[in-house]
Chains A and B, each alone.
Chain A
């Protein structure tokens, strides 16, 4: 049982970090579907930097890469007012693709001094609490939520809608970058093409499960981590096909969502802000 809880936290951590990143942007009204690509490229940047100058530099490189990619999405999704969904999916493809092309020479190399997972797990937990405070206890949080709910009103009150959204994407990207760094510096620890293996999409889904609240994202990510571990822990112990256990985490997420009832997304989510309309 104890191991199960440990796994829930340690495997839940990258999902939590990426979820927090997506959540931050979504509270500001911007959907970032590029998570998978951002994580992939950040994981590579973190690994490359760690090989060159230690894990500290690696973490910085991961976070930095994620933030830059978040800002890059902002260029399209905020400044140009392009379709956020397509821009995000394009970024996901681009990030995955670029990491695969650039990373070839880092494949098959073990990282000499990996990061301890536990430290990052604590950091992720702290970041979730911090994000909660940011959202509900600071002026920026107020601006962010108002921009996500009613950008026209926020604009009338003198809040820079584009500015707030850019910042949210930038910071959110940084969190996704940290998730990528966790994978290549602590969880594996080495780098291979495609190592994010779909976690980015799970993270996006968890934002909805968490009803756009950082503290619930913690629960959601850990729940998913727990179920993911249990599929292997329970496999073979009862005469149920292994495929049924493998499907269990996803089935239970659906159930939890159905039972937790209606959640409300930020009203302006996914809609580019046009001042004239």
Chain B
């Protein structure tokens, strides 16, 4: 028994495989719920409950925003061959930039645009360091960007515990609240800061066009698929890589601005700022297989899984780790189905 590539899988086969794998994942999850004395049917219903009402949809949307921004950037960076694992840190730098503008520059109608600009720029600068180390010294960006996450974490702790600590926070680790001009509008009484959502959708569309409809995108794709060919064609690999990296960092920075200006309204302890969006977005990007446009699909999908898991832990008083189990099983099902649908099973050698 072995696998062979199947260049043209039929829609029926693809659909069938996804149904099969998702069914398997649900079956396994059902076992977990039974072990916890919870009716699997009720649990499945809860898992999908975020899709059923505005409150739930708002929760999905709120998680989608940063995943979309970062995921779009990462899908480009991965495609070009820059494995940016440091979106979490770039997001934090974006938050720092936003906080600086909000707290220390005179407020006005320019405040929000300036926050996005500086936040994005700091995110880009942060990843730019890793990109430069890669281009100049050949230092692996997987390692440098991962390490930079920790640096960003401690930078934020230092700021909120030290020089930027607020006057009105009772000594806790927060800056003061951002002024009105530095707060993003939200949809109704939800936490959905829609301007950032629009930015995310725009970024995904723009990157898709950039990647597939422009000479720059063509060069990027060649560099990603075949660096040797890129060299042969005389493409400036280092510069192309740097630009792609900067774009992904900029977008992660924007996501950070959105989180602090749209939800927290202040800079705070780093573990509370992002909830690991920088890492979850890696999944959104990989699931999109190098197509920024597809992130418009994968980011909300992950948003549903996370919000559904949260509904489970809340309504059934289950341990929070149930969210991880749900996410892990669904991801395995998704990529298992994806992989198998690209292949044919050959029974004899």
Which residues of A come within 8 Å of B, CB atoms?
37, 76, 79-83, 85-87, 89-101, 104, 193, 201, 204-205, 208-209, 241, 243-244, 246-247, 249-251, 253-254, 257-259, 261-263, 265, 272, 274-277
> Is B264 located at the chain interface by the 8 A CB criterion?
no
Inter-subunit contact A250/B339 (CB<8 Å) = no
Question: Mind listing 21 A-B residue pairs with CB under 8 Å?
Answer: A76-B332, A80-B339, A82-B335, A90-B328, A90-B332, A92-B328, A93-B328, A94-B329, A95-B328, A97-B325, A100-B324, A101-B325, A208-B142, A208-B143, A246-B157, A250-B151, A258-B137, A262-B137, A263-B138, A265-B140, A272-B339
Known: A96-B324, A101-B321, A275-B4. A254 touches B329 (CB 8 A): no
Known: A89-B283, A97-B324, A276-B4. A243 touches B155 (CB 8 A): yes
Inter-subunit contact A101/B154 (CB<8 Å) = no
> Which residues of the other chain, A, contact B139 by a CB distance below 8 angstroms?
254, 257-258
User: What's the least CB distance linking B53 to chain A, in Å?
Assistant: 26
In the complex, which residue of chain B has the Cβ closest to the Cβ of A272?
B339
Top 6 nearest A-B pairs (CB, nearest first) are A100-B321, A97-B324, A94-B328, A262-B138, A97-B325, A90-B331
**Residue B161 contacts which of A93, A243, A253 (CB distance < 8 angstroms)?**
A243
> Is B24 located at the chain interface by the 8 A CB criterion?
no
Known: A81-B343, A83-B339, A241-B158. A89 touches B321 (CB 8 A): no
Inter-subunit contact B339/A253 (CB<8 Å) = no
> Which residues of the other chain, A, contact B283 by a CB distance below 8 angstroms?
86, 89-90
Chain B interface mostly: helix
Known: A193-B321, A262-B138. A91 touches B328 (CB 8 A): yes
Known: A94-B328, A243-B158, A275-B4. A251 touches B339 (CB 8 A): no
Known: A209-B143, A241-B158, A274-B5. A101 touches B322 (CB 8 A): yes
Inter-subunit contact A104/B319 (CB<8 Å) = yes
User: What's the least CB distance linking B8 to chain A, in Å?
Assistant: 14
Which residues of B come within 8 Å of A, CB atoms?
2-5, 32, 36, 133, 137-140, 142-144, 146-148, 150-151, 154-155, 157-158, 161-162, 279, 282-283, 286-287, 319-329, 331-332, 334-336, 338-340, 342-343
**Residue B339 contacts which of A81, A91, A243, A247 (CB distance < 8 angstroms)?**
A81
User: What's the least CB distance linking A149 to chain B, in Å?
Assistant: 16
In the complex, which residue of chain A has the Cβ closest to the Cβ of B325?
A97
> Which residues of the other chain, A, contact B161 by a CB distance below 8 angstroms?
243
- Complex alpha-carbon distance, A101 and B328, angstroms: 13
Inter-subunit contact A85/B4 (CB<8 Å) = no
Chain A interface mostly: helix
Inter-subunit contact A100/B320 (CB<8 Å) = yes
Inter-subunit contact A247/B319 (CB<8 Å) = no
Inter-subunit contact A86/B138 (CB<8 Å) = no
Known: A86-B286, A193-B321. A97 touches B140 (CB 8 A): no
Known: A82-B335, A82-B339, A83-B286. A257 touches B319 (CB 8 A): no
Known: A97-B322, A101-B32, A250-B151. A82 touches B336 (CB 8 A): yes
- Complex alpha-carbon distance, A94 and B32, angstroms: 12
In the complex, which residue of chain A has the Cβ closest to the Cβ of B151?
A247
User: What's the least CB distance linking B74 to chain A, in Å?
Assistant: 11
Known: A86-B287, A247-B150. A80 touches B142 (CB 8 A): no
Question: Which among A96, A97, A275 has the greatest number of chain B C-beta atoms within 10 A?
Answer: A97
> Which residues of the other chain, B, contact A205 by a CB distance below 8 angstroms?
142-143, 146-147
User: What's the least CB distance linking A252 to chain B, in Å?
Assistant: 9
In the complex, which residue of chain A has the Cβ closest to the Cβ of B158?
A243
Inter-subunit contact B328/A97 (CB<8 Å) = yes
> Which residues of the other chain, A, contact B162 by a CB distance below 8 angstroms?
241, 243
- Complex alpha-carbon distance, A94 and B323, angstroms: 9
Inter-subunit contact A250/B150 (CB<8 Å) = yes
- Complex alpha-carbon distance, A82 and B142, angstroms: 21
- Complex alpha-carbon distance, A208 and B36, angstroms: 41
Question: Which among A90, A99, A258, A274 has the greatest number of chain B C-beta atoms within 10 A?
Answer: A90
- Complex alpha-carbon distance, A247 and B268, angstroms: 18
- Complex alpha-carbon distance, A212 and B154, angstroms: 29
> Which residues of the other chain, B, contact A274 by a CB distance below 8 angstroms?
5
> Which residues of the other chain, A, contact B339 by a CB distance below 8 angstroms?
76, 80-83, 272
Known: A80-B336, A100-B320, A253-B147. 20 other contacts (CB 8 A): A37-B328, A83-B338, A83-B339, A86-B331, A89-B279, A89-B282, A90-B327, A90-B332, A91-B328, A97-B326, A193-B319, A204-B146, A208-B142, A243-B155, A243-B161, A249-B150, A250-B150, A254-B144, A262-B138, A276-B5
